[in-house]
Amino acid sequence: MKEFVLSEYVKSKDYVKSPFRYPGGKFYALKHIIPFLTAVEHDEYREPFLGGGSVFLAKTKSKINWINDLEEEIINVYKHIADETINGSFVDLFDDEVATKIRHKKVISLKPKSDIERAFRTYYLNRTSYSGIIHKPAWGYKDGKSSPPKNWKNFLTGSAGKLRDVKITSLDFEEVIKAKKKGSKVLIYLDPPYFLADQKRAYTQSFEKSDHLRLAATLKKSEHFFCLSYDDCEEIRELYNWANIYERNWLYNTANINGKSRIVGNELIITNYKIKDERFH
């Protein structure tokens, strides 16, 4: 089997920082993950578990791109950012916004009557809630946890170009993985909820043990290249003992709640292609 060579992480020319704060976001892991993606030549790229989008927005944009997540409210925001016919009116909604505990409670109580109102509510709560958690039971506000509203428009407009002409959906991961290719070589990056994660606190869509098993079975049969990031635990090592497993560690993005410091987590990068790198020998 051909081995692909890792190169050092170099920020792409079209790098864009994610407009979201997101539980489990991969901003701190980019230097570890991106080299696994750039090592494989591809003209079609897919992400079934987009989340905050740090990886897609950081890597060089492919000719064909498909991003997806079951969190429909987050996907609705992405669509408003990507659509140049509505982007301006959406971004303008934040012109006079403030981030306060009182305003946070008021936005929680809003009952959106349109997609753009839904997008506004979701993005406001993402920027002002603990660690960007949008799951209602975990909503909470604390001063200084987010960049001030005056910066939000830059986050939104900054990512608009990268999201243009990209397929954006909210489907089950199997549909994204199994879809027929449109390019010559497909690379799929997957960042599912972690096996030992506290999903009920962070996400509205739970990922059950059966989903982890289904994901592994689907990837094992896939004809496409894939790169998968997971928590380092016995269950995942056993589930992917047929693939290539590489150990890494990076800062967690959800450990800054209530004044706690970020911690370093042990992670796995799993692929169906071999990587040649002296650190693994």
Q: Tell me how far apart the alpha carbons of residues 2 and 256 are, in angstroms, rounded to a whole number.
A: 41
At residue 265 the predicted structure's pLDDT band, cuts being 50, 70 and 90, is low
Sequence ranges of the domains in the chain:
3-280
Give me the helices (H) in the chain, please.
30-38, 54-58, 72-82, 87-92, 101-109, 115-128, 152-163, 173-178, 199-202, 209-221, 234-239
Tell me: the pLDDT tens digits for 141-191?
777 667 889 999 999 999 999 999 999 999 999 999 999 999 999 999 999
CB 190 within 8 A of CB 173: yes
Give the percent of the chain with pLDDT over 70: 86
What's the whole-number mean pLDDT along residues 202-231? 91
Instruction: Collapse the DSSP code of 114 into the 3-class scheme (helix H, G, I; strand E, B; otherwise coil) and give the result.
Output: coil
Report, as an integer, the average pLDDT of 18-27: 84
- Measure CA 179 to chain center: 20
Gyration radius from the chain CA atoms: 19
Residues in the chain: 281
For the entire predicted model, the pTM comes to 0.90
Say which CATH topology domain 3-280 has.
Answer: Rossmann fold (3.40.50)
3-state SS, residue 223? coil
The CA distance from 55 to 53, in Å, is: 6
Asked whether residue 249 carries a pLDDT value surpassing 90, the answer given is no
The tens digit of pLDDT for each residue in 107-147 reads: 999 999 999 999 999 999 999 887 777 666 456 777 766 78
pLDDT tier for residue 279 given thresholds of 50, 70 and 90: very low
Q: Looking at the predicted structure, is the pLDDT value of residue 65 above 60?
A: yes
Q: Which two tokens stand for residue 128?
A: 């002002």
Q: What is the pLDDT of residue 257?
A: 45
What average pLDDT does this structure show over 30-36?
Answer: 95
Q: Which two tokens stand for residue 197?
A: 């994660």
Can you give the three-state secondary structure of 57-102, one letter per residue? HHCCCCCEEEEECCCHHHHHHHHHHHCCCCHHHHHHCCCCCCCCHH
How many Å apart are CA 211 and CA 47, to the nearest integer?
A: 16
Residue 252, classed as helix, strand or coil, is coil
Band (pLDDT 50/70/90 cuts) for residue 199 is low
Residue 281 has pLDDT above 50, yes or no: no
Q: What is the mean pLDDT of residues 209-227?
A: 97
24 vs 178, more confident: 178
